[in-house]
A = this chain, B = another copy of it.
Amino acid sequence: MMANIKDVARMAGVSIATVSRVLNQHPYVTKDKQEKVMAVMKELNYSVNGNAVKLSRGKTNTIGVIVPYNNNSCFDALINGMLRKAHELHYQVLLLPTYYENDIESSYLTLLQKKMIDGILLTSRTLDQEQIQSLSEWGKIVCCEACPVPTIPSVYPDRYAAFVDVFTYLRNKGYQRIYFTSARDAQASPSTRLGIQVYQEIISSDYVDRHYDQCFTYEDGKRVGDRMFNQRVVPDAIFANGDEVAAGIIASAKSHGYHYPQDFEIVGEENTPLSDILGFPSVDYHLADIGEQAVAMLLSSEFAQLPVRPTIHFKDEAACDNTR
């Protein structure tokens, strides 16, 4: 029922090679044959079979983007940039959520061996270096996290710089009880480890009571806020991993009688409307840009490991006063 290249060739009275040439806009096809072929294609309502093309060419023009989740402002921004750039470069994007499960992630990496995608963009890693290393033989992989493997290209937010900037800022403002939160626990997440390290360098070697992990959402922020503000000693400054978490902490603090910004300072991440509304500063990692660059890097032959300097958006004083 569906016409193929052979049908077109037969009906147009040419060889399939000629049809293929027309299809791919090769030169060296006479005007009239070309027109004839195109007419027949229209008549038969023909269109190429993409899988046959992929099989024959050994190239898919598709890239895979591995993320833990999509519904998170951070991955959302990354994906946004990636989609933009991929579209610009005529590539399609297969969105591959891992839910932070190791087996799911490795199953995605086999897509490279299966020739179903031309490359992979890794946003948040579960796998260890060796696994990635060994799989990168099958196709290019670009990482959007600081990646310990020296052979894997990457563009990533310079989280170290952010931690240093924020902790230094808070220390210099004279805060005494500085807390911080992260998503996954230290064992699972390199950036959590980094945060702890910088905290120890700049604030205090004793971070244990000052650090809370498992913070992903607004609700997590509330939960953690309840624990922070339900004690004799409460924070006077917090670096939260994400504006949603920061907002949750602020909401929870309020229910315990502590108000932002009078009673404590807080710094968020991602620079979403939340930080504007509630008036707290937020670290902007430029993730959409990073996403774009990651795609560009994946599809070019160049190699780089590129940290991107974050910006901290301090809100103006007026906006900070959200109790007026």
Q: Distance in Å from the Cβ of A194 to the closest Cβ of chain B?
A: 26
Main secondary structure of the interface of A (DSSP, over half): helix
A80 contacts chain B at the CB level, 8 A cutoff: yes
A127 close to chain B: CB less than 8 A: no
Q: Assembly of this chain: how many copies?
A: 2
3 closest A-B pairs (Cβ-Cβ)? A218-B273, A50-B114, A50-B116
A-B contact pairs, 13 of them (CB 8 A): A47-B113, A51-B55, A54-B54, A70-B76, A70-B79, A70-B83, A71-B79, A87-B104, A92-B94, A94-B94, A217-B273, A251-B277, A323-B323
Q: Across the interface, which residues of B come within 8 angstroms of A77, CB to CB? A: 71
Determine how close the nearest CB of chain B comes to the CB of A72; give it in whole angstroms: 9
Cβ of A244 within 8 Å of any chain B Cβ, yes or no, is: yes
B54 and A51 contact, CB distance less than 8 A: yes
Contact at B51–A247, with CB atoms within 8 Å? no
Complex: chain B residue closest to A272, CB-CB: B218
A-to-B contact residues, CB < 8 Å? 47-52, 54-55, 60, 62, 69-71, 76-77, 79-80, 83-84, 87, 92-97, 104, 110-111, 113-116, 217-218, 244, 247-248, 250-251, 254, 273-274, 276-278, 323-324
Q: How far is the CA of A127 from the CA of B59 in the complex (A)?
A: 30
Q: How far is the CB of A255 from chain B (nearest CB, A)?
A: 9
Residue pair B94, A51 in contact (C-beta under 8 Å): no
A51 touches B62 (CB 8 A): no
Contacts known (A76-B71, A218-B273); A95 close to B93, Cβ less than 8 A: yes
Nearest CB in chain B: distance from A90 CB, A: 10
